[in-house]
Structure 1
Amino acid sequence: MPSSGSGAPSAAAEAPGSTRGSRLGLVRFVRTGGFRRLLGVRFATQWGDGMFQAALGGAVLFNPERQADPLAVAAGLAVLLLPYSLVGPFAAALIDRWDRRRVLLGASLVRAVLVVVVAAVVLSGGAGLALYLPALAAAGVNRFVLAALSVALPHVVPRQHLVEANTFAVTAGAAVAAVGGASAIGLRELVGTGDAGSGVVTLVGVAGSLTAAVVAAGFRRRQLGPDRTDGRRSTIASVLHGFSDGARATIATPSVAGAFLALGTHRLAFGVSTLLTLLLFRYAFTDAGPLRAGMAGLGEAVVLAAAGLGAAAVVTPWMVRRWGRPRTVRVSLVVATLAQLTLAALLSLPIVMVAAFVLGLTGQVVKLCADAAVQAEVGDEVLGRVFALYDIVFNVGYVLAVACAALLSPPDGAAPWLFGSAAVLYVVGLAGHDLQLRRARRRAAA
Structure 2
Amino acid sequence: MQVIDDLKALWPLRDFRRLFAVRLTSQTADGMFQVGLATLFFFSPENASTAVGVATAFAVLLLPFTIVGPWAGVLLDRWRRRQVLLVGNLVRVGLTATIALLMVTGGVGPAVYVLALANLSINRFLLAALSASLPRVVDGPLLLTANSLTPTLGAAAAFVGGGLGFLLGLVLPEGHLRDGAALIVAAAVMGVAALLATRLGKDRLGPDERADAAQLRAALGTLARGLVEGARYLVERRTPAQALGIMATHRFLYGVTFIASILISRNLLSDPTDVDAGLTTFAGVLGASAVGFMLSVVVTPVLSPRVGPQRWIVLCLLLATVSQLLLVVSVSRTAVLVAAGALGLAAQGAKIAVDTIVQRDTADAYRGRAFALYDVLYNAAFVLAAALGALTLPDTGYSRVLFLVLALGYAAGAVVFGLASRSAVDRRTVDTPAPA
* TM-score relative to the length of structure 1: 0.88
AA paired with 2:427?
A: R
Classify the secondary structure of the residue corresponding to 1:158. Answer: coil
Task: Judge conservation of contact 2:56–2:386 (CA < 8 Å) in 1.
Answer: no
Tell me the distance in 2 between the aligned counterparts of 1:172 and 1:340.
25
Tell me the distance in 2 between the aligned counterparts of 1:112 and 1:421.
42
Tell me which of 144, 154, 166 is aligned to 2:147: 166
Classify the secondary structure of the residue corresponding to 2:194. Answer: helix
Distance apart, 1:177 and its partner CA: 0.3
Distance apart, 1:323 and its partner CA: 1.0
Distance apart, 1:365 and its partner CA: 0.7
Match of 1:244 in 2: 228
Tell me the distance in 2 between the aligned counterparts of 1:126 and 1:69.
23
Tell me which of 250, 255, 260 is aligned to 1:266: 250
Tell me which of 376, 382, 386 is aligned to 1:398: 382
Distance apart, 1:353 and its partner CA: 0.5
- 1:152 counterpart = 2:141: no
Q: CA, structure 1 residues 42+360, in 2 after alignment: closer, same or farther (shift >3 Å)?
A: same
Tell me which of 304, 310, 329 is aligned to 2:313: 329
Distance apart, 1:123 and its partner CA: 3.3
Q: Identify which range, 241-250 or 299-308, moves more after superposition.
A: 241-250
AA paired with 2:203?
A: R
Distance apart, 1:74 and its partner CA: 2.2
- 1:76 counterpart = 2:61: no
- 1:223 counterpart = 2:204: yes
Distance apart, 1:134 and its partner CA: 0.8
Classify the secondary structure of the residue corresponding to 1:76. Answer: helix
Tell me the distance in 2 between the aligned counterparts of 1:346 and 1:110.
45
Match of 2:434 in 1: none
Task: Judge conservation of contact 2:136–2:204 (CA < 8 Å) in 1.
Answer: yes
- 1:340 counterpart = 2:303: no
Tell me the distance in 2 between the aligned counterparts of 1:37 and 1:221.
13
Q: CA, structure 1 residues 24+175, in 2 after alignment: closer, same or farther (shift >3 Å)?
A: closer
Task: Judge conservation of contact 1:229–1:381 (CA < 8 Å) in 2.
Answer: no
AA paired with 1:277?
A: S
Tell me which of 289, 296, 306 is aligned to 1:312: 296
* TM-score relative to the length of structure 2: 0.90
Match of 2:367 in 1: 383
Aligned ranges 1:34-433 → 2 under 5 Å:
34-64=15-45, 66=47, 68-124=49-105, 126-127=107-108, 129-229=110-210, 234-239=215-220, 240=223, 241-286=225-270, 293-433=277-417
Distance apart, 1:23 and its partner CA: 8.5
Deviations 1:317-352 (A, max 9, x none): 111122111111111111111110111221121111
Task: Judge conservation of contact 1:93–1:238 (CA < 8 Å) in 2.
Answer: yes
| Structure 2 gaps, min length 5 | 432-436
Tell me the distance in 1 between the aligned counterparts of 2:108 and 2:408.
37
Distance apart, 1:254 and its partner CA: 1.9
For the aligned residue pairs, the C-alpha RMSD in angstroms reads: 2.4
Aligned ranges 1:25-40 → 2 under 5 Å:
27-40=8-21
The aligned length equals 422
Tell me the distance in 2 between the aligned counterparts of 1:24 and 1:50.
27
Tell me the distance in 1 between the aligned counterparts of 2:48 and 2:322.
34
Tell me the distance in 2 between the aligned counterparts of 1:77 and 1:166.
28
Tell me the distance in 2 between the aligned counterparts of 1:262 and 1:270.
12
Q: CA, structure 1 residues 432+238, in 2 after alignment: closer, same or farther (shift >3 Å)?
A: farther
Q: CA, structure 1 residues 64+191, in 2 after alignment: closer, same or farther (shift >3 Å)?
A: farther
Distance apart, 1:409 and its partner CA: 1.5
Distance apart, 1:230 and its partner CA: 8.0
Q: Identify which range, 319-328 or 69-78, moves more after superposition.
A: 69-78
Distance apart, 1:183 and its partner CA: 1.2
Tell me the distance in 2 between the aligned counterparts of 1:88 and 1:238.
15
Tell me the distance in 2 between the aligned counterparts of 1:253 and 1:230.
26
Q: Identify which range, 123-132 or 136-145, moves more after superposition.
A: 123-132
Tell me the distance in 2 between the aligned counterparts of 1:247 and 1:112.
33
Task: Judge conservation of contact 1:347–1:416 (CA < 8 Å) in 2.
Answer: no
Q: CA, structure 1 residues 195+63, in 2 after alignment: closer, same or farther (shift >3 Å)?
A: farther
AA paired with 1:349?
A: R
Q: Percent identity?
A: 38
Distance apart, 1:167 and its partner CA: 1.0
Tell me the distance in 1 between the aligned counterparts of 2:218 and 2:277.
51
Classify the secondary structure of the residue corresponding to 2:204. Answer: coil
Tell me the distance in 1 between the aligned counterparts of 2:58 and 2:140.
35
Deviations 1:37-96 (A, max 9, x none): 111110111011111111011012212354633233223323443333321222221111
AA paired with 2:155?
A: A
Classify the secondary structure of the residue corresponding to 1:228. Answer: coil
Classify the secondary structure of the residue corresponding to 1:159. Answer: coil
Classify the secondary structure of the residue corresponding to 1:37. Answer: helix
Q: Identify which range, 120-129 or 306-315, moves more after superposition.
A: 120-129
Q: CA, structure 1 residues 182+60, in 2 after alignment: closer, same or farther (shift >3 Å)?
A: same
Task: Judge conservation of contact 1:100–1:148 (CA < 8 Å) in 2.
Answer: yes
AA paired with 1:394?
A: Y
AA paired with 2:135?
A: P
